[in-house]
Structure 1
Amino acid sequence: MEAHALRKRGWTITAIANHLGRDRKTIRSYLLEERQPGVRKRSLPDPLETFVPYLTQRFCDDPHVWASALYDEVTRLGYPLSYPSFVRQVRNAKLRPHCEACNGVKGRDTTEIAHPPGEEIQWDWFERRHAP
């Protein structure tokens, strides 16, 4: 923002670069809007990119498929990174479709078990200590 303001005042690219402590080529690319400050270009291709069509289809088939199951599948297909990296990339790419039913439980741990009312078992810690 400051580089654009200085350029409007008539400053040269060299003067702006010296003032901001940046390289002239960087300032020029900012002013031409070829680059954005704070956004780095990846030097390597995105490892998830080749698997996006496969993951999109898997999410279409079952939007609630576990990420660990998908990770096992893509590692067999050649995905090179770790599970946390895989989950982060899937989340950042927003591949999982939106589910309104799941949206209400965001932020808390849940386990959905299909059972008729009254059939659930609850264990108290006191009872478990005295169990045979």
Structure 2
Amino acid sequence: MLSLEEDVQAHALRQQGWSISAIARHLGIDRKTVRAYLSGERKPGRPRRTQPTLIEPFLLGQLSQRQVECLDVIPFVPRRGVSRT
């Protein structure tokens, strides 16, 4: 999520002729995020609605049935930076 200041800066840099990749590097965010804000698809200060991850329904179901302890869930949670492929 970009702050209002970052959104204004992204738009100003784009008007100055900066590429989306250069703006993304400058702000330290993904270029797809920059593109979404510049196109108006996303608004500053509002978190994007997130879809549940693939594991959330499983975990919620298991926890609601009280079938697992916290330590039993850990093997199912992927480590950061590790893809699910």
TM-score by length of 1: 0.31
Larger radius of gyration: 1
TM-score by length of 2: 0.48
Greater relative contact order (Cα < 8 A, sep 6+): 2
